[in-house]
Copies of this chain bind each other. A is one copy, B any other.
Amino acid sequence: MKRYLLTPGPTPVPPEVLAVLSEPMIGHRTAEYRAVLGEVLERLQQVFRTNDDVVLMTASGTAAMESAVANTCSPGDRVVVVSAGNFGERWVSLTTAYGLEADVIRYPWGETPSADELAARLRELGGAQAVFLTHSETSTGVVADVESLAAAAQDAGALSVVDAISSLGAVPLETEEWGIDVVATGSQKALMTPPGLAMVSVSKAAADAASASPRFYLDWERYGKAQAKPDAPYTPAVSLVIALNVALGLILDTGLEETFDRHVRLGRACRAGAKAMGLELFSPDEDRSSVVTAIRMPDGIDGQEIVATVRSQMGVTLAGGQGELRGKIVRIGHIGYVDIFDVVTGLAALELALAEAGADIERGAGPGRALETFEHTRV
């Protein structure tokens, strides 16, 4: 059975990137590795759109998020968390684990956070040490307007910290221009590399925040000192870093603008296809939210069963709902190394599974409408 990976992470890895993973291992204290690392760090700055240092860690994206909490805040610090889904709640868990006084602006899952509400809350509180934001809320498909949210944080003198794990490299994020202090991401989404690497950009203000939280592996200063050489403070995931370098090269060769545009066009096609099938969108029908398309399941249909069917019967991996959305939605990820034919395949698999489950859907309409909607022949 042929396999298709359409989850919001890990995402498909291009063959050029996979190929270097099977090259013989090299030492990390060699000129050869240092050259790769130096190039990766420079390319990451281009993708993050910043001149700030980007710390590269061997870890999952959650560790990048945790490093922001541990390096910028001390126990007892007042912070604001904006949460509208599973990953917003991760900020809540992280800030709680570090003993911060987290004021949570909590939206129903699927809603889009408001910068005005954040500004008002910060005024009420008389400021905060940091504001923790989610760019692409992978659990709902909503991409927030972090430009406005970060501006609200900045106006209140708070550091702005953005989880951009499923968005960086897929949708525009102007780290420096928007004045975002910390942006966290991972290798396994738009960066088209297997999971295992986490990155975080650190503004001067964020680096200067004197934190009393205990930390070692996630301590930014240790990375900063080593990366200046360039080197890594601890044995890095050598093969993944080499792979990331290839993937970043592919992204920058294509161009970020063109890459963002592809995600917008894929999102439009996916949403149009789902609607043509007679399904209701859960994620917003807007261009900004073009990373993951979350689709409501018709009454009586269990999304988890649909996901299981398309995976075991058709070789297509989609994602179900998380937390309170479990069973209620199916998510099609179109992040990174994904083209219109993948989106059509995802919609086609969904159609077949829904039809088999007895759902009242329009047959044959989804993939066709997706293709019709897709704007360029350049895929």
Looking at A62, A195, A236, the one whose CB has the most chain B CB atoms below 10 A away is: A195
B residues in contact with A284, CB < 8 Å: none
| A25 in complex: contacting residue of B13, B25, B28, B31, CB < 8 Å | B13
Looking at A59, A219, A319, the one whose CB has the most chain B CB atoms below 10 A away is: A59
Given contacts A61-B234, A214-B213, A239-B194, contact A26 B9 (CB under 8 A): no
A97 CB-CB contact with B under 8 Å: yes
B residues in contact with A5, CB < 8 Å: 24-27
Complex CA–CA separation, A183 to B29 (angstroms): 26
Docked-complex contact B24 and A217, CB < 8 angstroms: no
B residues in contact with A10, CB < 8 Å: 25-28, 235, 238
B residues in contact with A28, CB < 8 Å: 10, 195
Assign chain A's interface to a size class. 35 or more
Q: Describe A's contact surface by its main secondary structure.
A: loop
Copies of this chain, complex-wide, total 2
B residues in contact with A62, CB < 8 Å: 216-217, 233-234
Complex CA–CA separation, A307 to B219 (angstroms): 30
Shortest distance from the beta carbon of A346 to any chain B beta carbon, whole Å: 13
Docked-complex contact A25 and B214, CB < 8 angstroms: no
A237-257: which have CB < 8 Å to B?
237-240
Docked-complex contact B188 and A235, CB < 8 angstroms: yes
A60 CB-CB contact with B under 8 Å: yes
B residues in contact with A21, CB < 8 Å: 18, 21-22, 239
Docked-complex contact B25 and A194, CB < 8 angstroms: yes
A259 CB-CB contact with B under 8 Å: no
B residues in contact with A58, CB < 8 Å: 58-60, 195-196
Looking at A11, A24, A186, A233, the one whose CB has the most chain B CB atoms below 10 A away is: A24
Docked-complex contact A238 and B195, CB < 8 angstroms: yes
A224 CB-CB contact with B under 8 Å: no
A75 CB-CB contact with B under 8 Å: yes
Docked-complex contact B9 and A24, CB < 8 angstroms: no
Docked-complex contact A237 and B19, CB < 8 angstroms: no
16 contacts between A and B (CB under 8 A): A3-B24, A12-B25, A18-B25, A19-B22, A26-B317, A30-B311, A58-B60, A59-B217, A60-B237, A62-B234, A66-B217, A70-B214, A97-B215, A98-B214, A237-B240, A239-B240
Extra 9 A-B pairs, beta carbons < 8 Å, given A10-B235, A18-B24, A21-B21: A5-B26, A10-B27, A21-B239, A22-B22, A25-B194, A60-B235, A186-B235, A194-B237, A194-B240
